[in-house]
Chains A and B, each alone.
Chain A
């Protein structure tokens, strides 16, 4: 089955700790994305990657970091510098930019206390 997997589904952390969210896809897509979703708001783009070893900041990149060492993997690290990290995080991929359809993973709910 082709698709996007995210792990874990739920993640709990104490304030001040860094945490890494996993995103893997077997769709052979070049582009991958990380979004944050807060209640009552649309998705906001954190980072995106057009190709391996390349990534760009989205609209709300502060306090987050990513890497893209393999085509199928795009992990997101939420650092202690992120002021309000509690949210639902969604990973997506597409064949590329432009007119291509986006596909989403099941999401990770991060709670920081």
Chain B
């Protein structure tokens, strides 16, 4: 059974710091891994989608990597800003089904 774990559960950093959020999954048979951002009381916004054949994706100050063999992904945020404060969720789509498995998220607070 696929499980997704995100560490840490919460993180507080000063503005300008580079940071890494971690996501691990137990079964490497996945179509893709997706990173989302969620602001309080809002829906999920897709940040990056990494297909199983890819190693990383970049968008602006965000870079996500995928290592299927070790069941790990990292989301790197460069030069963090207070506007980056949100909960970040990772999710995997296992091969053979329609279900997507989500982690519980990392709540990020960037202090001005």
Which residues does A use to contact B, with CB under 8 Å?
4, 6, 31, 33, 40-43, 45, 48, 50, 56, 58-59, 88, 90, 92, 97-99, 101-107, 109
Contacts and interface: CB of A to CB of B under 8 A. Distances in A.
Contacts of A40: 104
B105 A42 contact: yes
Nearest to A92: B44
A58 B44 contact: no
A103 B102 contact: no
B50 to A, nearest CB: 10
Given A40-B104, A98-B31, A101-B34, A45 B42 contact: no
Contacts of A101: 32, 34, 46, 49
B97 A42 contact: no
A42 B103 contact: yes
B51 interface: yes
A106 B91 CA distance: 18
A104 B103 CA distance: 16
Interface residues of B, number: 26
A88 B42 CA distance: 9
A41 B91 CA distance: 13
A102 B34 CA distance: 8
29 contacts: A4-B43, A42-B4, A42-B102, A42-B103, A42-B105, A43-B89, A45-B99, A45-B100, A48-B99, A50-B98, A56-B98, A59-B99, A90-B43, A97-B97, A98-B31, A98-B93, A99-B32, A99-B51, A101-B32, A101-B34, A102-B34, A102-B46, A104-B44, A104-B45, A105-B43, A106-B42, A107-B42, A107-B43, A109-B41
